Amino acid sequence: MTSVKSLLTKPWIWSFLGALLVWLATIAFTGGYGAGGMVTAALSLAVFTVIVGVGQMFVITLGPGNVDLSLPANIGLASAVAMKVMDGNDSMIALGLLAALACGAAVGAVNYLLIWALRIPPIIATLSASFIIQSIDISYGRGLQIKPPPGFADFANWQVLGIPVLAILTVLFTIGAAIALQRMIYGRSVLAIGQNIRAAWLAGVNVGRIRFLTYTLSGALGGIDGALLAGYFRGANVDIGNEYLLASIAVVVIGGTSVAGGKANVPGVWGAALFLVLLLTMLNTFGVSAGVRLLLTGLIIVGVITAAGGQKALR
Amino acid sequence: MKKLFVLGALAAMLASGTALADTSGKKIAFSNNYAGNSWRQAMLDSYGIVTKKAVADKIVGAADIFTTADKEVPTQAAQVQNLILQGYDAIVINAASPDALNGAIKQACDAGITVVSFDGTVTEPCAYRVVVDFKDMGKQEVEQMAKFQPKGGNLLEIRGLAGTSIDDAIHAGILEGVAAHPEFKIVGSVTGDWDQTTAQKAVATILPSLPDIVGIVDQGGDGYGAAQAFAAAGKPRPTIIMGNRQDELQWWKEQKDKDGYKTWSASIAPGVSSLAFWVAQQVLDGRTDIPHDLLVPYLAFTQDDFEAELPKIVKGGVASHEYTQEDAIAAIKANIK
């Protein structure tokens, strides 16, 4: 019983509970029909939010004011770069993924350059960077859909016994990210900077290097996400990353990571991403109109954050 | 389309003697507010092809294109005011807002400038509106569906951007079609925002809970995403109405080659910009009988002619159609009642 109690004190448990509740409500509505298919769809779609969510989580954990608003533009550009390098050719997949990764990492590095060299607050630096990136993308892609090679599209849609392979790989990646956050010097440094940047500096943490690495990591994850999105949705386009501006921040917050920085957890990103997709599943299944759907999404997110936050206030 | 050409030729014969004024010295400006997607790129291309030829043929003096960098209303309002000062005789406009630009449009009208809006039309009464008959398009989707699925069955509807007049019109047409064909029943409705990614995501989430679907009625730009969502869920492929995008028609061709898959495709042609240009030219020509609201046909492809169109569409783009002066005269004639 003590294990259940200790589980309830974890900030990330609330996002999983929310996801479970929403799923149960949906299958109660359909009489159990399609329960497995919903989980498969949720896993397939949550993957993309998880990947950028983890990057955003590291950035937000750096402390107040740190946020990466360039993710949507970054995803859009990287998806176009990856598809153009692959050029419909299966043998170029690895090179295309590398190009997307490099493109994303470059965006992240430029973000930090703006923050560090010009002393622009991150929120403005990443926002203005996103305008520049988007303009590059429009002139680079000419607003056209660019198709992935068939092998890459099949890989992105590959399922084993109803479980998307991409989801399994992303679970492995998030386990790595959790270890990096909690057990490695890099992760501990990010947490230390988020708790008190001056104390971290006095304790010998190389603040500049860690922040640079974190923005670059977030950018690189956005880049790889763009390539995977273009594979799964079979086509790169300028708007492909649009929803990940708010979604990447929402999963971090719903997942129980502190917006003020210094406190983070990786499992919550998964719970929150599944919760958001299942919420969309529920509202689509109930057949509510577009306006009501947005309203309910807002109210339910507020509800979950309040439940998770209320628990913290008790301590 | 064939009917339109015959009508156009007839109308051209009738109208050939009615030109009242010479437009060869007239200048027509095109005010556009966004260029970032394949539809807008095709719109600008079609407009450029048609107007360059019109200038070379000395039908008009100049036809310049002005695109603002963002989708903002104030930028475009300022742009329209500049065009007034620059002395253009007519402005063709794809407006950022149906009513927020009315002030600038009214100023243009008061300065004696002809304003023709299309796609993003304006409500200011002095302007002309070239509007595609979206309601008929929605109705026709169900009519076509009845041909492919004569036994009827369950339909999934994919809606467009919520709150827009286009979404309302197509939806109303679909409802009308379903009322006329009681063998069909809409069992699910999702919002796809005319976007492949959004549509695929929305369909993927609702699909597990749906009964067997025989057909999908949608609004264009969402058909390919819907097909992918069905494939990913391992569900049998329904009859999906397409929306003239290159990837949609390409997918249709692949399916047709495989097992004779049949469907229908319709959307607003980006080249409707060129139709708006000719309407402006006709007004400058001195015609006073042109209705301010012009309902024009949508661009449709059937099982027989879509493959001929496919190679003409740029990869990842959308099918377009450049309208001629005769098309415009025919469209105007069809709207005079």
Residue in B301, B156, B162, B178 with CA at minimum distance from that of residue B229: B156
Average pLDDT value for residue range A185-206: 94
Maximum distance among all Cα pairs of chain B, rounded to whole angstroms: 63
Token readout for A34 is 């399609």
Q: What is the DSSP letter of A204?
A: T
Residue spans per domain, chain B:
2-132+269-299+320-335, 134-267
Q: CB distance A36–B246 less than 8 Å?
A: no
Residue in B140, B75, B69 with CA at minimum distance from that of residue B101: B75
> Tens digit of pLDDT for each residue in A123-157?
999 999 998 998 888 888 766 778 899 999 999 98
Domain containing residue A50: CATH number: 1.10.3470
> Lowest mean pLDDT: which of A10-14, A33-37, A71-75, A142-146?
A142-146
Half-sphere exposure of residue A44, counting CA atoms within 13 Å on the CB side?
A: 29
Token readout for A156 is 């992105």
- Listed in order, strand segments (DSSP E) in B44-105 are 62-67, 90-93
Distance from CA of A90 to the nearest CA of B (A): 19
Which amino acid would we find at residue A243?
E
Q: How far apart are CA A266 and CA A57, in angstroms?
A: 8
Domain presence at residue A128: yes
Domain presence at residue A26: no
Q: What is the pLDDT of residue B317?
A: 86
What is the number of domains present in chain A?
1
- Global pTM reads 0.83
Q: What is the pLDDT of residue A94?
A: 94
A147 CB near a chain B CB, below 8 Å? yes
Which of A44, A84, A140, A233 best tests the B interface by mutation, with the highest count of B CBs <10 A?
A233
| From B37, B195, B233, residue closest to A41, measured CB to CB | B233
Looking at domain B134-267, does it have CATH number 3.40.50.2300?
Answer: yes
Q: Which residues in chain A are closer than 8 Å to B191, comparing Cβ atoms?
A: 290, 293
- Residue B132: beta bridge partners? B296
B200 CB near a chain A CB, below 8 Å? yes
Within a 10 A sphere around the Cβ of A312, how many other Cβ atoms?
12
> Tens digit of pLDDT for each residue in B256-270?
999 999 999 999 999
Q: What are the CA-CA distances from residue B264 to residues A182, A300, B137, B192, B304 (Å)?
A: 56, 40, 11, 19, 10
Domain presence at residue A106: yes
| From A26, A143, A291, residue closest to B209, measured CB to CB | A26
Above 70 in pLDDT, residue A315? no
Domain presence at residue A23: no
Among positive and negative, which fits the CA dihedral A79, A84, A90, A96?
negative
Query: Domain range spanning residue A197?
Result: 33-314
Above 70 in pLDDT, residue B285? yes
Q: What is the pLDDT of residue B18?
A: 47
Above 80 in pLDDT, residue B223? yes
Which string of b and e fits A76-93 if b means at least 16 CB within 10 Å? bbbbbbbbbbbeeeeebb
Half-sphere exposure of residue B294, counting CA atoms within 13 Å on the CB side?
A: 30
Distance from CA of B30 to the nearest CA of A (A): 20
Decide the pairing of beta strands B153-159 and B215-217.
Answer: parallel
> Tens digit of pLDDT for each residue in A216-233?
999 999 999 999 999 999
Please identify, in words, the CATH class of the domain defined by B2-132+269-299+320-335: alpha beta
Q: What is the pLDDT of residue B194?
A: 86
> Tens digit of pLDDT for each residue in B1-36?
556 565 555 555 554 444 556 888 899 999 998 776
B247 CB near a chain A CB, below 8 Å? yes
Q: What is the pLDDT of residue B12?
A: 52
Average pLDDT value for residue range A89-112: 95
ipTM of the complex model: 0.84
Half-sphere exposure of residue B74, counting CA atoms within 13 Å on the CB side?
A: 0
B230 CB near a chain A CB, below 8 Å? no
Q: What is the pLDDT of residue B10?
A: 53
> Tens digit of pLDDT for each residue in A4-26?
777 777 888 888 998 999 999 99
Among positive and negative, which fits the CA dihedral B6, B11, B13, B14?
positive
Q: Which residues in chain B are closer than 8 Å to A44, comparing Cβ atoms?
A: 204, 232
**Proportion of chain B above pLDDT 90, given as a percent:** 68
Same fold, B2-132+269-299+320-335 and B134-267: yes
Q: Residue B3, exposed/middle/buried by CB under 10 A (0-12, 13-18, 19+)?
A: exposed
Distance from CA of A106 to the nearest CA of B (A): 23
Q: Which residues in chain A are closer than 8 Å to B202, comparing Cβ atoms?
A: 280, 284
**Spatial CB neighbours of A18, under 8 Å, sequence gap ≥ 6:** A254, A271, A272, A275, A300, A304, A307
